[in-house]
Amino acid sequence: MSKLLRPSYMLLLASFIAGALLLEYGNHLAGWRSDQFYYYNLALVAYKADKQKDATAYFELSLAAYDGALHGDRLHKLILPAPSKEVASLAHFYKGRLLLQSGEVEPAVEAFKDSLRLNSGQDLDGLDAADQKRLLEQAMVVKYDLELLLKKHPELTETKGMGKSKRGDDQEHEQVPKMAPGAQPGQGGRDDI
């Protein structure tokens, strides 16, 4: 039997290949950066420097990186960390504020709603108390700003189907109870079934 075909050499060769793959994986992770966090941080710097256009563009890039990571291939989902819903929610919130400052009210409402879709402040089970408190406070700030915006622009609630009816008949119509088994108190009639 050849020396190279012995089980000990095959095991040594397999462990060498596995070690090389793990080393490459570690090297990839050591130099990897999250585009979502990178663009979010650039957006915050631009936001604090009152560069509205740059900040809006960076927030959109951060959100695009979040969407790309959510819909990425399985290998990246297996190897790389998951994208942050909290950062995406904050990006939508700050983008909404920037849109509001530039006078674009309807897109700002949508950005606030997108922020609340990602972090509604509910269903925070499984997180520690500090994270629950932080996420709840962030959601409450978004809800407060959205409520103030909708109070200032009530026409937006009507166009989105949340306002009063435009038909003019705001009266409640009384429903007539059905004659069916169990719909009326008592034993019911013999022919109801």
How confident is the model over 31-79, as pLDDT tens digits? 778 899 999 999 999 999 999 999 999 999 999 999 999 888 887 778 7
Residue 9 backbone phi and psi in degrees, to 5: -70, -40
Helices (H), 32-167: 35-48, 52-70, 74-79, 85-101, 105-118, 129-152, 155-159
pLDDT attached to residue 71: 87
Cα angle, residue 83 at apex, residues 77 and 89 outer, rounded to 5°: 150
Q: State whether the Cα torsion 160-162-168-174 is positive or negative.
A: positive
Domain ranges of the chain: 31-158
What does the pLDDT look like over 150-186, one tens digit per residue? 999 888 776 544 545 555 555 555 544 555 555 555 5
Q: Residues near 108 by Cβ (< 8 Å), separated by ≥ 6?
A: 96, 97, 99, 100, 149
Fold of 31-158: 1.25.40
Nearest residue to 60 (alpha-carbon basis) of 83, 30, 29, 94: 94
pLDDT attached to residue 144: 93
What does the pLDDT look like over 4-15, one tens digit per residue? 567 888 888 889
What does the pLDDT look like over 94-137, one tens digit per residue? 999 999 999 999 999 999 999 999 999 888 888 899 999 999 99
Find tokens 């200032």 and name the residue. 152
Mean local confidence (pLDDT), 79-84: 86
Q: Residues near 3 by Cβ (< 8 Å), separated by ≥ 6?
A: 9
Calpha distance 88→106 (Å, rounded):
19
